[in-house]
Structure 1
Amino acid sequence: MSSFLKIEWTVLYNEKPAVYRPCSGCRTIGAFASTGKFRLNANGSRMDAWLIYRCRACGARWNRPLFERRRVKSISRRQLQALQENDPVLAQRLAREGGSLGGWRTDNCGSFSLMSRIVSTGPACTGETLLVIRNPDLARVRLDQVLAHGLALPRKEVLRLFRDGMFRVQEASDKVVRRPLPAEIAVELSSRDEGGSSGILRRLIGSGRGENLS
């Protein structure tokens, strides 16, 4: 009976996503990033809410509409409190999601890092190593980018490993390697080629011993 190893990677942003739109200060298309602050305006039983952005170059302000003329009673107490207190988790999530941005291009593919940990190890009949990659913020990065980053390998080498059957994505075709990363994906490391798989396995175990891969 062979051993089973499960490793988890979590994709983390290093930069805030930008919204590209006309800037009154720069008088050109500027990159606007969220300040993490909200602006609220209540008028009777209705409320407006915006997420405040600033131009990275000149600091000009832009208020991104979240909702307009919404009945206050339709807003949960928890959401209202988060808006009033400039909750950083809510602000970050809204900035990642993009939403209604007036048709202007967003950029969610800034630099990223990986938080890595060994989830479990023990006896199993399969002999396969399982790598679970979590993408909670839906970063716009591809699977081959993340694997190349985490394994410290050229991207073309990662693609070759898929072609040779060393890597296999559960319940998906190998085309997924070139597609944006979903919220969670599981990649199996085959043990057929013992020489090749052992080298990849050492890289995976090494990544699991640290808190972050930068």
Structure 2
Amino acid sequence: MSSPPHIVLPWVVRRTRLPLLSLRCVDCPSESATTGRGRFRVNANGKLLDVWLLINCVSCDRTTKLTVHERTPVSSFDPDDLEGYRVNDADLVASRLLDPLLARRCHFTLDWTDAWRLDVPSERHDEVWPLRVEVTFTDPVPVRPERLIAHGLGLSRNDVRRRVKCDVPLRRTTSSGFTFTVLAAD
């Protein structure tokens, strides 16, 4: 019977930039787009608003619009959101881009390659086993726990499979927090 972990370490997965969009360009063979400077375009038609998020092709810089709201009554908008659309608020751009409903409606996926980092406490606890780690995500970055743990601990993936007990499947992609315990080396 193993004793409970002595130390609980917090790991945080943070977004370093907005992810690229996997979306086919109509002008060139590129399959990647970016939000560029993160801008909205708002068009008023009477008391109805259309709101688009402007994206640019990575290769040819062609601007394309992703529909955020279409023919929506002005009265149904939160005043803070309206102001955010007007001033191109960076947090609002990120929240709309990371919205899975928008991705499904506009037929794009997010490419998180080089768009996140893992923050691990700098102190080492090599003497204390078992070691418990709580992983939290500031944004829904899809990662496989097995790879994240191997990177954070500097272990091979085989060592991770042998020494780590995790509350989520190690080989299944997740974008929400999880907890794992690292056992001492044999």
Report TM bin, short chain. 0.7 to 0.9
Q: 1:24 to 1:3 in 2, by over 3 A?
A: closer
* Equivalences, count: 176
Q: 1:79 aligns with which of 78, 81, 106?
A: 81
Q: 2:110 aligns with which of 93, 107, 112?
A: 107
- The aligned runs of 1:31-42 (5 Å cut-off) are 31-35=32-36, 36-42=38-44
Deviation at 1:22, TM superposition (A): 3.3
Report if aligned partners of 1:9, 1:115 keep a CA contact under 8 Å in 2.
yes
Matched, 1:189 2:182: yes
Aligned to 2:7, the other structure's residue is in SS state: strand
Aligned residue in 2 for 1:25: 27
Q: 1:136 to 1:188 in 2, by over 3 A?
A: same
Unmatched segments (≥5 aa) in structure 2 = 123-128
Q: Counterparts of 2:96 and 2:102 in 1: how far apart (Å)?
A: 10
CA RMSD of the aligned region, Å? 2.7
- Taking only the aligned residue pairs, the percentage that are identical comes to 23
Unmatched segments (≥5 aa) in structure 1 = 119-126, 162-166, 198-214
Report if aligned partners of 1:7, 1:132 keep a CA contact under 8 Å in 2.
yes
Q: 1:53 aligns with which of 52, 55, 60?
A: 55
Compare the two structures and name the one with the higher strand fraction.
1
Amino acid at match of 2:165: R
Report if aligned partners of 1:33, 1:53 keep a CA contact under 8 Å in 2.
yes
With the length of structure 2 as denominator, give the TM-score of the two structures: 0.81
Q: Counterparts of 2:165 and 2:57 in 1: how far apart (Å)?
A: 42
Q: Counterparts of 2:83 and 2:108 in 1: how far apart (Å)?
A: 30
